[in-house]
Amino acid sequence: MSAGEAILLFQLGPRLYATRAAAVVRIERAGPGEAAWSPLGPPFAAARRLLVGDGQGGLHAFPVDAVLGVRQVPAADLRPLPPLAEGLVAPGVTGLLLWRGAPTPLVDLPTLVRRRDGAPTRAERSRDG
Protein backbone atom coordinates (compact mmCIF):
# COMPACT_ATOMS: atom_id res chain seq x y z
CA MET A 1 0.00 0.00 0.00
CA SER A 2 1.33 3.44 -0.96
CA ALA A 3 2.03 5.94 1.80
CA GLY A 4 0.24 8.60 -0.22
CA GLU A 5 1.14 12.22 -0.62
CA ALA A 6 1.75 15.03 1.86
CA ILE A 7 -1.06 17.57 1.49
CA LEU A 8 -1.26 20.90 3.31
CA LEU A 9 -4.78 21.98 4.25
CA PHE A 10 -5.55 25.68 4.60
CA GLN A 11 -8.54 27.95 5.06
CA LEU A 12 -9.14 31.04 2.98
CA GLY A 13 -12.31 32.93 3.78
CA PRO A 14 -15.06 30.40 4.48
CA ARG A 15 -13.51 27.63 2.38
CA LEU A 16 -11.08 24.78 2.93
CA TYR A 17 -8.39 24.18 0.29
CA ALA A 18 -5.58 21.69 -0.18
CA THR A 19 -2.18 21.95 -1.85
CA ARG A 20 0.80 19.68 -2.22
CA ALA A 21 2.97 20.34 0.83
CA ALA A 22 6.13 20.26 -1.30
CA ALA A 23 5.01 23.51 -2.99
CA VAL A 24 5.23 25.43 0.29
CA VAL A 25 8.71 26.51 1.34
CA ARG A 26 7.61 27.82 4.73
CA ILE A 27 4.67 29.22 6.68
CA GLU A 28 4.86 32.61 8.37
CA ARG A 29 2.64 34.93 10.35
CA ALA A 30 1.39 37.75 8.18
CA GLY A 31 2.48 41.23 9.17
CA PRO A 32 -0.07 43.86 10.19
CA GLY A 33 -1.48 45.76 7.24
CA GLU A 34 -0.06 43.41 4.58
CA ALA A 35 -1.97 43.42 1.34
CA ALA A 36 -4.02 40.24 1.04
CA TRP A 37 -4.33 39.02 -2.53
CA SER A 38 -5.86 35.77 -3.70
CA PRO A 39 -7.69 34.68 -6.85
CA LEU A 40 -9.48 32.12 -4.67
CA GLY A 41 -11.36 34.83 -2.79
CA PRO A 42 -10.69 37.36 -0.08
CA PRO A 43 -9.32 36.15 3.23
CA PHE A 44 -11.06 36.99 6.49
CA ALA A 45 -7.91 38.14 8.26
CA ALA A 46 -4.91 36.78 6.30
CA ALA A 47 -3.27 35.76 9.57
CA ARG A 48 -0.73 33.49 7.86
CA ARG A 49 1.11 33.43 4.60
CA LEU A 50 2.48 30.51 2.66
CA LEU A 51 5.81 31.19 0.98
CA VAL A 52 5.68 29.45 -2.38
CA GLY A 53 8.39 28.92 -4.96
CA ASP A 54 7.47 30.08 -8.45
CA GLY A 55 9.62 27.45 -10.18
CA GLN A 56 12.06 30.15 -11.33
CA GLY A 57 13.94 30.75 -8.09
CA GLY A 58 11.59 33.35 -6.61
CA LEU A 59 9.49 33.16 -3.46
CA HIS A 60 6.02 34.66 -3.25
CA ALA A 61 3.69 35.12 -0.29
CA PHE A 62 0.21 33.63 -0.53
CA PRO A 63 -2.12 34.87 2.24
CA VAL A 64 -4.37 32.42 4.09
CA ASP A 65 -6.53 32.67 7.16
CA ALA A 66 -5.40 29.44 8.80
CA VAL A 67 -3.13 26.48 8.21
CA LEU A 68 -4.83 23.30 9.38
CA GLY A 69 -1.80 21.05 9.00
CA VAL A 70 -0.12 18.57 6.71
CA ARG A 71 -1.72 15.17 6.22
CA GLN A 72 -0.63 12.07 4.34
CA VAL A 73 -3.49 11.18 2.02
CA PRO A 74 -3.82 8.09 -0.15
CA ALA A 75 -3.31 8.69 -3.88
CA ALA A 76 -6.83 7.36 -4.44
CA ASP A 77 -8.22 10.41 -2.58
CA LEU A 78 -6.64 12.80 -5.13
CA ARG A 79 -8.79 13.26 -8.23
CA PRO A 80 -8.40 15.30 -11.41
CA LEU A 81 -11.00 17.91 -12.17
CA PRO A 82 -13.84 16.67 -14.34
CA PRO A 83 -13.36 18.08 -17.88
CA LEU A 84 -16.49 20.23 -17.61
CA ALA A 85 -15.22 21.90 -14.43
CA GLU A 86 -11.78 22.84 -15.83
CA GLY A 87 -13.02 26.10 -17.34
CA LEU A 88 -15.33 26.97 -14.46
CA VAL A 89 -13.03 26.97 -11.44
CA ALA A 90 -10.34 29.45 -10.42
CA PRO A 91 -7.04 29.15 -12.28
CA GLY A 92 -4.66 26.97 -10.35
CA VAL A 93 -7.33 24.57 -9.07
CA THR A 94 -6.05 21.35 -10.61
CA GLY A 95 -8.10 18.68 -8.92
CA LEU A 96 -9.98 17.57 -5.87
CA LEU A 97 -9.01 15.97 -2.60
CA LEU A 98 -11.66 13.80 -1.02
CA TRP A 99 -11.21 15.00 2.55
CA ARG A 100 -13.47 13.39 5.12
CA GLY A 101 -15.86 12.48 2.31
CA ALA A 102 -16.14 16.02 0.91
CA PRO A 103 -14.52 17.24 -2.31
CA THR A 104 -11.91 19.88 -1.43
CA PRO A 105 -10.23 21.96 -4.16
CA LEU A 106 -6.61 20.96 -4.77
CA VAL A 107 -4.68 24.12 -5.62
CA ASP A 108 -1.38 24.41 -7.50
CA LEU A 109 0.05 27.42 -5.63
CA PRO A 110 3.06 27.93 -7.97
CA THR A 111 0.59 28.35 -10.86
CA LEU A 112 -1.34 30.96 -8.88
CA VAL A 113 1.72 33.02 -7.99
CA ARG A 114 3.00 32.92 -11.59
CA ARG A 115 -0.41 34.03 -12.84
CA ARG A 116 -0.51 36.89 -10.34
CA ASP A 117 2.86 38.07 -11.60
CA GLY A 118 1.64 38.04 -15.20
CA ALA A 119 3.43 34.93 -16.44
CA PRO A 120 1.19 32.57 -18.43
CA THR A 121 0.24 29.31 -16.81
CA ARG A 122 1.07 25.97 -18.44
CA ALA A 123 -2.55 25.60 -19.62
CA GLU A 124 -2.53 29.10 -21.12
CA ARG A 125 0.75 28.44 -22.95
CA SER A 126 -0.53 25.18 -24.46
CA ARG A 127 -3.91 26.72 -25.36
CA ASP A 128 -2.33 29.73 -27.06
CA GLY A 129 -0.03 27.58 -29.11
Dist. CA 62–CA 126, nearest whole Å = 25
Dist. CA 104–CA 99, nearest whole Å = 6
| Cβ atoms of 93 and 82 closer than 8 Å | no
| Cβ atoms of 28 and 51 closer than 8 Å | yes
Dist. CA 112–CA 36, nearest whole Å = 14
For range 54-59, the mean pLDDT? 80
Instruction: Parse the chain into domains and list their residue ranges.
Output: 5-128
For range 40-63, the mean pLDDT? 87
More confident residue, 64 or 127: 64
For range 104-116, the mean pLDDT? 85
What percent of the chain lies above the pLDDT cut of 90? 43
Write the burial class of residue 17 (CB in 10 Å: 0-12 exposed, 13-18 middle, 19+ buried).
buried
Dist. CA 124–CA 129, nearest whole Å = 9
Q: What is the pLDDT of residues 1-21, one digit of tens each?
A: 356 899 999 999 999 999 999
Q: What is the pLDDT of residues 62-81, one digit of tens each?
A: 999 999 999 999 999 999 88
